[in-house]
Amino acid sequence: MGYAAARGGLEAILAAEDLVRRKRTEGSSAPLEVDQITDRLRLSVDRVMGEAGLWAPELAARALRQAEGDLVEAAHLLRAYRSTRRRLARPVTVDADELEILRRIVPAYRVPEGPQLLGRTLDYVGRLLDTSDRVSTGVEEATHAGTEPQVLVFGGETDRRPERLLEQLRRNDLALDRRRSDDPEPYDINVHPVRPGVPRSARLSVMARAETGALVNLWYRNVLGPDGYIREITLGEVRHGWLPVRVEHPATGQPVNLGRIRVTETEAIEDLDGDDEARDHFDVGYGMCVGHNERKAIAMANLDIAVHRDGGRSSLEQSVLMTTDGLESSGFLEHLKLPHYVTFRSMVERKMSLRAVASGERNDDRAAAIEDEEIRTEAVVGA
Amino acid sequence: MAEQTTVSLPKGPDPSRVREWRSELLASANAHAIITVAQRCLESGDTRLVSEPTVGMVPVSVREPVVGERFILVDVLATRSEVDHRGQRGWAMRLGDDKEATVAAAICDAEAAANGPMTGEIDELCAQTDRLLAESSAAEWAELLPTEVHFEELVK
């Protein structure tokens, strides 16, 4: 399909942009500071960074402010910024087991190895809209945070990096062992195109950067929708925590931790029940994404194992790879608002011609009418 | 039950990786503190930028536990700087867009690598940063501990 460009309207476009710039700072309230956004709207900042593919909290906050809170637009701004930056170093791979937990729940086991730590969550309380104007300082809610002033406590390695449930399943020979003996380079979706058939590492990268709603929708369609894969889903681990960022020191060649980022991680346990599957075992799907975004990590883990089990029989892999990027889908959708005068006019002309052929009209008056319409159209195009 | 003991403070650098220890802690040190120390380093010794400090990205590669494969999770904004100071090459990288503090960290790295007169202060800044990080981590854990849960199963 081809598109014809339109031109003109520059003054109106500039006036519209000026209107956006002025209106987003108007009003009687104080200007929105960047640290207010990073401190108070952390989940939005996390989503923007995750969908842009760049951990940069301050820039994500600026993007959110500029986009007036539109997450997809903010991710677009941040990803555009990202495209202007080059990579400074090759990464030193970090192991997912190095994740230092801020929250860890194991829905599959009541008493797993290590603590079940609810962390910062509202999962177990009702959602009531707070209509008061009182700004909570956190002091009055501190009644459940311990009665005595806390002495500093140290979470030992086993507590902050507890053994994952997958290891327990393996010890009990309940999980399929799919560990590889080789160590292929990870597929870089920023450098190479993503098409069905790419390695699993590409799928994981695509889903880590996908739009949250798109992943959730695809998972839901896959589980309950027309794709018909209704099955029991059990989550092994849901973790939120810190992961180190590591590079090689150029002088010594040794690893250096530069800092850390927050990530969410999920293991999804799949009950194997296919004729050609090991029905006395489970298999496990994996999800990890940037920031605190459990919906996304859970959908990712479930889709990871779903694509593996599907084995290319359906279009699921294609859907995961080609339809979950927020910028691509929103960009294509939003381009529909741009002028499509020429393409639509050609469609109208085809309709008119079909109608003329179908009705068997061959008289000179009808032909002349069509010709007149074409001449008028060309005159408008030429203008 | 999660482990609770009094905070264990860092024991100092492993002698075999002192330079990496400094780089890690200079990456996390307070920007104002590191710039102050670097300015004092500049009072003695020739210093020049090897290249302009660069704001770019560091990819995060993660080895996942199911298949043991590596995948690229995200890129992280970072600033890199390289300097020559006291005839030593200094290198630093800090997360975020922070050119001034990153140049300062590279100067401190070179000063300490050359065993310059400010080495003691640099190592003290690193040790202080290490303590602050450990205390911050312990305080974070103290806030999390009351949320440890032991659900009960309902049995008929």
- Asked if A183 and B64 touch (Cβ cutoff 8 Å), the reply is no
Residue A258's φ and ψ, nearest 5 degrees, are: -85, -20
What is the least distance, in Å, from the CA of B29 to any CA of chain A?
10
Output the pLDDT for position A7: 78
pLDDT in tens, A347-356: 999 999 999 9
- For the entire predicted model, the pTM comes to 0.89
What is the least distance, in Å, from the CA of B90 to any CA of chain A?
9
**Option in A188, A243, A261 nearest B72 (CB):** A188
Which residues are within 8 A (CB) of B108 and not within 5 positions of it... i.e. 6 or more apart? B22, B26, B34, B37, B38, B41, B90, B92, B118, B122, B125
* B47 Cβ under 8 Å from any chain A Cβ: no
Helix residue ranges, H only, chain B: 18-28, 31-42, 99-113, 119-144
The number of angstroms, rounded, from the C-alpha of A363 to the middle of its chain's C-alpha atoms is 59
Which of A158, A47, A257, A178 has its CA nearest to residue B64?
A178
* CA angle, A300 then A306 then A309, to 5°: 145
Burial (Cβ within 10 Å: 0-12, 13-18, ≥19) of residue A105? buried
Which residues are within 8 A (CB) of A144 and not within 5 positions of it... i.e. 6 or more apart? B146
Q: Report the distance separating Cα B72 and Cα A289, nearest Å.
A: 10
pLDDT in tens, B36-51: 999 999 998 789 999 8
Q: Report the distance separating Cα A310 and Cα A294, nearest Å.
A: 24
Radius of gyration of chain A (CA): 27
Q: Report the distance separating Cα B88 and Cα A37, nearest Å.
A: 41
The pLDDT of residue B3 is above 80: no
Contact list in A for residue B94 (CB cut-off 8 A) is 258-259
**Option in A159, A243, A258 nearest B27 (CB):** A258
**Option in A160, A208, A267 nearest B74 (CB):** A208
Which comes out higher in pLDDT, residue B5 or B61?
B61
| B57: three-class secondary structure by DSSP | strand
- Asked if A78 and A65 touch (Cβ cutoff 8 Å), the reply is no
* H or E segment to which residue B91 belongs: strand B88-95
Contact list in B for residue A79 (CB cut-off 8 A) is none
C-alpha distance across the termini of chain A, in Å? 24
If you search the block for the tokens 């080789």, which residue do you land on?
A: A182
Among A66-75, A113-122, B10-19, B21-30, the range scoring the smallest mean pLDDT is B10-19
Output DSSP code: residue B146: G
- Asked if A71 and A48 touch (Cβ cutoff 8 Å), the reply is yes
Contact A152/B68, CB-based, under 8 Å? no
- Asked if A328 and A294 touch (Cβ cutoff 8 Å), the reply is no
Q: Report the distance separating Cα A9 and Cα B126, nearest Å.
A: 58
Residue A381's φ and ψ, nearest 5 degrees, are: -60, -40
**Option in B68, B95, B146 nearest A180 (CB):** B68
- Asked if A64 and A37 touch (Cβ cutoff 8 Å), the reply is yes
Which of A339, A252, A338, A261 has its CA nearest to residue A293?
A261
* B115 Cβ under 8 Å from any chain A Cβ: no
C-alpha distance across the termini of chain B, in Å? 27
Contact list in B for residue A174 (CB cut-off 8 A) is none
**Option in B24, B72, B97 nearest A186 (CB):** B72
Output the pLDDT for position B7: 53
> In this prediction, does ipTM exceed 0.85?
yes
Output the pLDDT for position B5: 47
What's the mean per-residue pLDDT of chain A? 88
What is the least distance, in Å, from the CA of B64 to any CA of chain A?
6
pLDDT in tens, A232-252: 689 999 999 999 999 999 988
Mean pLDDT of B78-102: 97
pLDDT in tens, A125-169: 998 998 887 776 555 555 565 545 445 555 666 689 999 999 999
Q: Report the distance separating Cα B61 and Cα B73, nearest Å.
A: 6
Contact B149/A117, CB-based, under 8 Å? yes
Residue of B nearest to A189 (CA): B72
Q: Report the distance separating Cα A190 and Cα A125, nearest Å.
A: 41
Mean pLDDT of B81-108: 97
> What's the maximum distance between 2 C-alpha atoms anywhere in chain A?
97
Output the pLDDT for position A136: 63
Residue type (1 letter), A54: L
Q: Residue A276: which pLDDT band, with cuts at 50, 70 and 90?
A: confident
Token pair recorded at residue A179: 């560990």
Contact B73/A263, CB-based, under 8 Å? yes
Output the pLDDT for position A159: 86
Among A236-245, A368-377, B99-108, the range scoring the smallest mean pLDDT is A368-377
Output the pLDDT for position A377: 59
B65: alpha, beta or left? (left if phi > 0; alpha if psi -120 to 50): alpha
Burial A273-282 (b: 16+ CB within 10 A, else e): eeeeeeeeeb
Token pair recorded at residue B109: 């790295």
Report how many Cβ contacts below 8 Å link chain A to chain B.
Answer: 252
Residue ranges of the domains in chain A? Answer: 14-82, 96-119+156-332, 341-382
* A128 Cβ under 8 Å from any chain B Cβ: no
Which residues are within 8 A (CB) of A124 and not within 5 positions of it... i.e. 6 or more apart? A118
